[in-house]
């Protein structure tokens, strides 16, 4: 019996050999049902949950914890009440810390900081033990390490915050009132293995429950469902491990279908079969084997995740049921054949995403409703796989993935990203036991889930002997699943799948562990494995540019089998400022001096599960249907589904200048891997010259499914139609009026009918535009070449340490954020039908370094030439030529900006309705849309440029109309404010509307967020740009 003082003195929390003490061996989740029907239905489990309010007290260090806390008579009235499950930092105690790579404490592994906040929990409960039964307690997740006492007696110790820790309480409890005390250390040697890109949060953050087992009990069950070579008939191999040897008990296995009907069973198998198993502590237990055959079972896959129910019964000598355990069974096979990852013989295309367990209010405790919301959003946006980055998830998550049909890469809780070198602990035999226990616990807990198709050895820990030991053990224990691991170069002998992170489609990246272009990687000499990106398309803020290129490659090269986007949800924490304004907090917002700022804000959805525009792009690129059109009447639909047919409604709409003029629907049943053609009754004779026509096609679910309602859109496309002949004349022009020109030394005034434009000779700007005495402008039209930097533009820059290779650093070095323009020429030409005003601007920059010899002499980095033409119809035609200095970096944008009087409605004919950028616009179709100015703003947690709409033909806003071919954005926030604000609540709306009209806009990139990732065709580095628009007053 260890005393409290012995425990404190031993400092088990910084001993990598002391991973677990007095815990039960790892096994699948158990319920100990007492009746077959309870087991079949999954009801009346003998679990007794201790979730709820626990007493809590925080100490600065373990050494400062008073020994009296373990006394069952300790007065808890002064302790704080805290929710379990939950992280204590999310409940007003201590503070969260976010880091991506660096440890938030000195790296002296295995030693931990002396200042080690220690949370002590106490819970009183009542129990009525039954003689001959065992009472167990299970903690699903505690961060990072803990000691447990029951009624003043030490029970045991555990670490690994993401795996269950289970103890036998039988010897410590008594009838009536009992008390548990848990001492949780924020930091332990295990923290060195849990350096994942997430918040450092502490406490009992998953479920805690008691359950009771008979003296002879089922301790573990391993299910191995298989299909024959033709994927027709099935078999189920069941290995049952009992708690001890017996010659009088029997095990029976029954298999039920989803309706509860029995499918197969194998009757009373005597346990005295000499199939004895030795556990890791040398104990013996009976191990019983069953083999069931099933004729033509229904398969489990992403489309039809059919689940059987296997009930394992333990019977006594009189054939009376002692206890039952039950598990979902999915008949599916996983194999790598011919260099392809296959499920049930079909080569998969992984439409995956990395998911952290994150809730903005409760931290690492995620309730079931949020889990289901995540899964439904994934399914509805065409995802079929999820990686549990970077640790075992809550057990309920896997049950839901089984139920809804998501493939899972199940990852061990190991990441040593902050080590230098990263593989230091991975190569150290002293840490072998810790590594192995994390892998063993993962496999033993999750081995029965059909959704788990790949095991992962962890993340970003280099490569070392400990990984090779994990790989070999896992292969021996479960040869039915492949194993992946990216560390050490993504293609070592410790991975069955080439699984790089952030490798590019065409670009080779050098380094110690090169990242080859994925198109080339699969063709390297001797390489026969499939390639699945474990992380790609870094969705940090306004990102996911050129995402469609990956999917072009995946569809072109069979062994490029998809990947997992980084990542699912922005890890912002819900906070309010002193004025009651809500915002999402990130690294550094809690006084955490060691932090990685907003690098935790890289999800496809906001923390409240609102959808980012990038998620819509992902949905479109990875949709399961290709839609082709021959330009006349015929649609071709091709299904990429592998397993089941789908009933769809094919909806088509013809748009004239963005407005629907004809529409229709066709019911269609799409068999897997099939193609269908549909003839559309299009009347090309309706097309008029001078107008633009598009065909929109949407594929909708014909009926509601378990993951989406009826008429949910699963695929879409748009095609530009060509007019066969013209049936209309040109539209009549607006009535003409006299043009009046008034010139002075200071200004030029042009008037047509009820409109008047004023040009200032000194500045060269169009300063005023009036109609019927009302101002249409609140600030002049000015050249604009800069944008509030995106996360992808900022790269790895810190406030005091800019990344010189980032776009932001290059722009600032060239002075693009501090351009000074000077009008060097202005001319006025008056004609019979129009007046033309030409201006020329030379721009100088306060650059950090002269970018050319000419710039060093003259300071000039840009020249623009404006040509305004005002005609008799009151139209303002603007043509702009831009001549950048050759040595300038790619310009963020080429266009103009102005401010308009406050207005709210925006209508446009262009891409929409959601935000889109030149390299992220596949999902945004051309049409007519309207929104409020507020709705046009995308509230990224870390404010940046946002809200662009591309390929616009016409825009109406605040009494003016803009026509041409351009991109635009409107906002109540200036670019300067978007650049200086660090959170959305710091943005203060101005009493004007800022309009940006861009002839050209640089892409946003997104292959990753720390290197310049905008593809060359989306850079603005030409020597000359020309754009033109027409401005008119709305009538």
Catalytic positions, written as ranges: 460, 535
How far apart, in whole angstroms, are the C-alpha atoms of residue 289 and residue 221? 10
Joined together, the tokens standing for residue 883 give: 């001549």
Structure token pair of residue 453: 């198709």
- Burial (0-12, 13-18, 19+ Cβ within 10 Å), 154: buried
Residue 417: partners with Cβ closer than 8 Å, 6 or more residues away: 100, 101, 195, 196, 197, 459, 460, 461
CA 801 to chain centre: 28
DSSP characters for 83-141? EESS-GGGGTSS--EEESSS-SS--BTTB--S---EEEEEEEEEE---TTEEEEEEES-
What is the C-alpha separation between 939 and 101, in angstroms, rounded? 27
Max intra-chain CA distance, the chain:
113
The number of angstroms, rounded, from the C-alpha of 871 to the middle of its chain's C-alpha atoms is: 52
User: 483-484 and 452-456 as β-strands: parallel, antiparallel, unpaired?
Assistant: parallel
Provide the CB-side half-sphere exposure for 812 (13 A, CA).
Answer: 14
- Pairwise CA distance, residues 145 & 154, whole Å: 15
Q: Tell how many helices (H) and how many strands (E) occur in the chain.
A: 14, 59
DSSP 3-state assignment of 145? strand
Q: How many other C-beta atoms are found inside a 10 Å radius of the C-beta of residue 991?
A: 9
Beta 250-256 vs 262-270: how paired, if at all?
A: antiparallel
CA–CA distance, 383 with 539 (Å, rounded to integer): 15
CA angle 270, 273, 274 (to 5 degrees): 150
- Residues 281, 229 contacting (CB under 8 angstroms): no
Compute the CA torsion angle 8, 9, 15, 19 (nearest 10 deg).
-40
User: In this structure, is the dihedral angle defined by the CA atoms of residues 69, 75, 76 and 79, taken in order, positive or negative?
Assistant: negative
Alpha-carbon distance 388 to 366, whole Å? 14
Q: Residue 454 in 3-state DSSP? A: strand
Structural tokens at position 1019: 């850079």
Rounded to whole angstroms, the Cα distance separating 694 from 717 reads 10
Query: What values do phi and psi take at 824, rounded to 5?
Result: -105, -10
Distance CA 274, CA 245 (A): 9
Is the separation of the CB atoms in 275 and 289 below 8 Å?
A: yes
Q: What are phi and psi of 733, to 5 degrees?
A: -75, 160
Mapped onto helix, strand or coil, the DSSP state of residue 947 is coil
User: By the 8 A CB rule, do 664 and 680 touch?
Assistant: yes
Alpha-carbon distance values, 465 to 468, 488, 497, 514 (Å): 5, 12, 19, 21
Q: Which residue has the tokens 């946002």?
A: 946
- Going through 186-270 in order, the beta strands assigned E by DSSP cover 198-200, 203-204, 208-214, 218-227, 234-242, 250-256, 262-270
CA distances from 897 to 827, 878, 893, 994 (A): 22, 13, 11, 7
8 Å CB contact between 192 and 80:
no
């Amino acid at each position: 019996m260890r005393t409290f003082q012995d425990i404190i003195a031993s400092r088990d929390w910084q001993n990598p050999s002391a991973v677990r003490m007095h815990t039960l061996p790892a096994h699948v989740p158990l319920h100990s049902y007492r009746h077959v029907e309870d087991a079949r239905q999954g009801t009346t489990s003998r679990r007794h949950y201790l979730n709820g309010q626990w007493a809590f007290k925080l100490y600065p260090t373990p050494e400062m914890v008073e020994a009296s806390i373990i006394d069952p008579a300790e007065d808890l009235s002064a302790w704080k009440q805290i929710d379990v499950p939950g992280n204590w930092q999310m409940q007003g105690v201590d503070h969260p810390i976010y880091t991506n790579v660096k440890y938030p404490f000195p790296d002296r592994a295995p030693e931990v900081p002396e200042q080690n906040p220690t949370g002590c929990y106490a819970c009183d409960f009542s129990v009525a033990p039954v003689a001959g039964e065992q009472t167990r307690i299970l903690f699903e997740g505690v961060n990072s390490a803990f000691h447990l006492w029951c009624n003043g007696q030490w029970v045991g110790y555990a670490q690994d915050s993401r795996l269950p820790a289970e103890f036998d309480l039988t010897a410590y409890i008594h009838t009536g009132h009992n008390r548990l005390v848990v001492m949780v250390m924020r930091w332990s040697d295990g923290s060195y293995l849990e350096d994942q890109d997430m918040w450092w949060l502490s406490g009992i953050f998953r479920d805690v429950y008691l359950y009771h087992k008979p003296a002879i009990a089922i301790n573990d069950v391993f299910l191995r469902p298989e299909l024959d070579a033709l994927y027709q008939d099935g078999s189920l191999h069941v290995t049952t491990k009992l708690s001890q040897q017996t010659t009088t008990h029997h095990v029976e296995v029954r298999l039920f279908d989803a309706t509860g009907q029995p499918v197969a069973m194998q009757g009373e198998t005597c346990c005295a079969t000499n199939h004895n198993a030795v556990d890791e502590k040398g104990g013996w237990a009976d191990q019983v084997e069953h083999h069931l055959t099933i004729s033509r079972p229904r398969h489990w896959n992403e489309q039809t995740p059919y689940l059987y129910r296997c009930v394992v019964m333990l019977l006594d000598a009189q054939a009376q049921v002692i206890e039952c355990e039950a598990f979902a069974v999915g008949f599916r096979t996983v194999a790598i054949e011919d260099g392809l990852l296959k499920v049930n013989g079909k080569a998969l295309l992984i439409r995956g995403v990395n998911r952290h367990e994150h809730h903005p209010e409760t931290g690492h405790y995620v309730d079931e409703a949020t889990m289901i919301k995540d899964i439904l959003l994934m399914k509805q946006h065409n995802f079929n796989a999820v990686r549990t980055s970077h640790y075992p998830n809550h057990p309920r998550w896997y049950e839901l993935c089984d139920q809804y049909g998501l493939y899972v890469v199940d990852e061990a809780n190991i990441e040593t990203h902050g080590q230098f070198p990263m593989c230091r602990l991975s190569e150290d035999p002293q840490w072998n036991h810790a590594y192995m226990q994390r892998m063993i616990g993962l496999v033993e807990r999750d081995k029965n889930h059909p959704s788990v198709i790949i095991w992962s050895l962890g993340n970003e820990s280099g490569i070392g002997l400990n990984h090779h030991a994990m790989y070999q053990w896992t292969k021996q224990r479960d040869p039915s699943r492949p194993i992946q691991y990216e560390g050490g170069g993504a293609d070592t002998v410790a991975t069955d799948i080439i699984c790089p992170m952030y490798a590019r489609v065409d670009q080779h990246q050098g380094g110690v562990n090169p990242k080859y272009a994925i198109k080339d990687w699969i063709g390297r000499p001797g390489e026969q494995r499939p390639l699945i990106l474990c992380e790609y398309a870094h969705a940090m803020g306004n990102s996911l540019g050129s995402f469609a290129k990956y999917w072009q490659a995946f569809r072109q090269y069979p062994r490029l089998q998809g990947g997992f986007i980084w990542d699912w949800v922005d890890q912002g924490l819900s906070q309010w400022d002193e004025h009651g304004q809500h915002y999402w907090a990130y690294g550094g917002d809690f006084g955490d001096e060691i932090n990685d700022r907003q690098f935790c804000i890289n999800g496809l959805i906001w923390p409240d599960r609102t959808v980012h525009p990038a998620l819509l792009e992902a949905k479109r690129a990875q949709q399961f249907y290709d839609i082709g059109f021959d330009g006349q009447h015929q649609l071709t639909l091709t299904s990429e589904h592998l397993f089941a047919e789908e009933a769809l409604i094919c909806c088509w709409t013809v748009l004239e200048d963005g407005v629907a003029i004809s529409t229709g629907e066709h019911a269609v049943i799409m068999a897997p891997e099939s193609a269908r053609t549909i003839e559309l009754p299009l009347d090309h004779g309706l097309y008029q010259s001078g107008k633009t026509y598009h065909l929109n096609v949407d594929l909708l679910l014909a009926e509601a499914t378990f993951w989406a309602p009826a008429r949910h859109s699963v695929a879409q496309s748009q095609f530009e139609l060509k007019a066969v002949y013209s049936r209309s004349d040109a539209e009549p022009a607006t009535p003409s009026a006299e043009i009046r020109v008034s010139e002075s030394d200071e200004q030029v005034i042009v008037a047509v009918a009820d409109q008047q434009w004023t040009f200032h000779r000194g500045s060269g700007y169009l300063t005023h535009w009036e109609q019927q005495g009302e101002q249409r402008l609140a600030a002049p039209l000015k050249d604009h070449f800069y944008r509030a930097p995106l996360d992808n533009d900022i790269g790895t820059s810190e406030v005091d340490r800019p990344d010189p290779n980032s776009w932001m650093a290059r722009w600032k070095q060239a002075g693009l954020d501090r351009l000074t323009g000077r009008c060097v020429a202005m001319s006025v030409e008056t004609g019979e039908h129009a007046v033309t005003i030409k201006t020329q601007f030379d721009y100088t920059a306060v650059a950090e370094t002269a970018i050319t010899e000419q710039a060093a002499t003259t300071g000039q980095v840009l020249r623009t030439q404006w040509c305004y033409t005002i005609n008799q119809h009151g139209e303002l035609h603007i043509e702009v030529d831009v001549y950048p200095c050759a040595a300038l970096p790619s310009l963020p944008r080429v266009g103009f900006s102005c401010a308009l009087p406050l207005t709210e409605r925006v209508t446009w004919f262009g891409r929409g309705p959601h935000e889109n950028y030149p390299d992220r616009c596949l999902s945004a179709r051309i049409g007519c849309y309207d929104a409020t100015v507020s709705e046009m703003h995308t509230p990224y947690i870390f404010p940046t440029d946002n809200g662009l709409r591309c390929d616009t033909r016409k825009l109406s806003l605040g009494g003016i109309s803009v026509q041409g071919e351009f991109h635009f954005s409107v906002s109540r926030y200036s670019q300067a404010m978007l650049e200086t604000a660090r959170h959305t609540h710091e943005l203060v709306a101005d009493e004007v509307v800022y309009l940006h009209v861009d002839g050209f806009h640089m892409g946003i990139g997104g292959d990753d967020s720390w290197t310049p990732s905008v593809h060359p065709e989306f850079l603005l580095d030409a020597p000359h740009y020309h754009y033109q628009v027409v401005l008119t007053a709305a009538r």
